[in-house]
Chains A and B, each alone.
Chain A
Amino acid sequence: MVDIVFILSALLCLASAMTIVTRKNPVYAVIFMLPFFIGMAILFVLLSAPFMAAMQMMVYGGAILVVFLFVIMLINLRPEELQDDFNFTAYIVSALAGGFMGGLVLSFALKGISPGMASAFEHPLQAGEGQPAFGSIESLAQPLFQVHLVPFELVSILIVVALLGAVILAKKRV
């Protein structure tokens, strides 16, 4: 059952990813981001990361996708500008290069995955007495605010930077 769901969502992700990359019209590309994010969220749930899945849908599906769509609508490309966006040689060469890259990384990764890792991956998760379940908000909170407190605080700086950047770049008159 889980296998089938995994395979289906994986296929969904791959198919929509291919669609995103190959569509000429950027609007279609953005629209196909939605199934991609949904597939990803399902995968996260399968991998015991429900909080991650929720965040994925909220931030990616809810915010980033919409902003992309908004920008594409804003700049409103004319059809003739979309026509010549296809250089066959470059396209094939890029596909080969990207695929080769992915394959190379994969071969490394597969060589590095030990049987112990593989079996642990398939081990059922089981929360201890009084412990929050893995992947829940409670289980993430402790390490987030203790072990990774410094980067967490730094993210606020990053957001301030993005904020100031949006102001400085997009404001009509300074």
Chain B
Amino acid sequence: MNAWLTLLETPADGGQLAGLVGFKLASCIALSCAIFAIGAWGVLARRNILLMLISIELMLNAVMLAFVSFARMRAGVAAEYTAAAAKALAEGAPAEAIAGLQAKSAIWTTSGASGQIFGLFIIAVAAAEAAVGLAIVISYYRHRATVDTRDMTTMKF
């Protein structure tokens, strides 16, 4: 388990290596939106096709950040259910109630994992797009010796 988190975090209760976060979901989403906007700005403003591609990578990273933040939120819900199940067990609640809570916890854990998995897929997509994009840039550069979008206007109107 991510043991090196202990460097950052004092264990809250009895050696539990919990990922308690102090910052808000909203700040994560705001950061994500900001990076997405910066990326979009880059695509619009830059005339160098390579920088446009890099800006698109920024946008993809922003998407990943959003996914991971929301995944963290889901995991938090799952943890709430787990805690509730533990509490119910301690209070001697009926077995099916506990099973229900545990099932919910499992569902939310899975849905939380989906977010991170989507992030992984985005990395794969980004890699594929970057590889193909750069190959096209090289192929184009060999003929026209330019990467400026203002030179790429032989077709218009």
Contacts and interface: CB of A to CB of B under 8 A. Distances in A.
Contacts of A102: 33-34, 36-38, 40
A120 B80 contact: yes
Contact of B23 (A6, A26, A68): A6
Contacts of B40: 97-98, 101-102
Contact of B116 (A49, A105, A118, A124): A49
Contacts of B72: 47-49, 121
Contacts of A2: 8-9, 20-23
A75 B54 CA distance: 16
A interface SS class: helix
Contacts of A120: 73-74, 76-77, 80
B20 A60 contact: no
Contact of B21 (A17, A121, A161): A121
Given A21-B55, A128-B105, A162 B132 contact: yes
Q: Interface majority SS on B: helix, strand, loop or mixed?
A: helix
Interface string A91-127: 1011101110111011001100100111111111111
B83 interface: yes
Given A26-B51, A52-B64, A56-B123, A134 B58 contact: no
A26 B117 contact: no
Interface in A19-61: 20-21, 26, 29-30, 33, 36-37, 40, 43-52, 55-56, 59-60
A29 B51 contact: yes
Interface residues of A, number: 98
Contacts, number: 299
A153 to B, nearest CB: 12
Contacts of B12: 124
Contacts of A26: 48, 50-51, 54
Contacts of B153: none
A64 B57 contact: yes
Given A20-B42, A71-B138, A120-B77, A45 B5 contact: yes
Interface of A: 1-3, 5-7, 10, 13-14, 17-18, 20-21, 26, 29-30, 33, 36-37, 40, 43-52, 55-56, 59-60, 63-64, 67-68, 71-72, 74-75, 77, 81-82, 85, 87, 90-91, 93-95, 97-99, 101-103, 105-106, 109-110, 113, 116-128, 131, 133-136, 139-140, 142-144, 147-148, 151, 155, 158-159, 161-162, 165-166, 169-170
10 contacts: A18-B38, A33-B57, A47-B28, A52-B64, A94-B45, A98-B38, A102-B40, A120-B74, A121-B76, A143-B117
